[in-house]
Amino acid sequence: MASTRALHSSSRSLVYFKGRGLRSVPPVWSLDIRTIQQPAAGICFGSSAPRSISDLYGIAYIRRLDVVNRGFSGFNTTQGLKILPNILPDPSQTRVRFMAILFGSNDACFASCPNGQLVPLEQYKKNLVSLVNHPALQAHGTRVILVTPPPVEERRLEHRVKS
């Protein structure tokens, strides 16, 4: 809301809002910042890929939700389970309306890769179920959106690995 002018009195301010006229508001110094409710949020969580998704959701929910990117480069589902409680705000501070979870690209790397990111398929499934049913998400009543990793063209991948 853009104000064009403010008329001050000792305890309240009259602020003119375009299209809404004059409104009485308390002075800024009297606001207790701890009582201000944060807007609802959406979180895009996963490896480094959620960045583009958070941009899309940010545009779709502009002025309605704060969409936060929590993509961690190189992370797999096992690591994601460990950090999930640390990225969620306290339910009394704000409500997480949705969480888009995108893991899988790093989980599916080759067993021969020296980075140790490979997660066996059965463990990957268990990790996803644990992420979706995590108590920290349940406390918010969050809607979970599972996003699949992009497809892999195996013929090109085999050629790249051999060369």
Length of the chain: 163
Element (H, E) at 3: strand 3-8
Confidence label for 125 from pLDDT (cuts 50, 70 and 90): very high
Mean pLDDT for the stretch of residues 85-114:
86
Does pLDDT of 11 surpass 60? no
102: left (phi over 0), alpha (psi -120 to 50) or beta: beta
**Which pLDDT value is given to residue 3?**
42
Confidence label for 160 from pLDDT (cuts 50, 70 and 90): low
Compute the 3-state secondary structure of the chain and give helix, strand, coil in percent, each to the nearest 5. 35, 25, 40
Find how far residue 68's CA is from the centre of its chain: 4
Q: What pTM was computed for the model?
A: 0.66
For residue 44, what is the DSSP state? Answer: E
The tokens for 13 are 């301010």
Of the ranges 21-25, 51-55, 57-61, 73-77, which is most confident? 73-77
Mean pLDDT for the stretch of residues 105-121:
81
Confidence label for 38 from pLDDT (cuts 50, 70 and 90): low
When the pLDDT of each residue in the chain is averaged and rounded to a whole number, the result is 75
**Which pLDDT value is given to residue 19?**
54
At residue 163, the 3 state secondary structure works out as: coil
Q: Are 77 and 107 in contact (CB under 8 A)?
A: yes
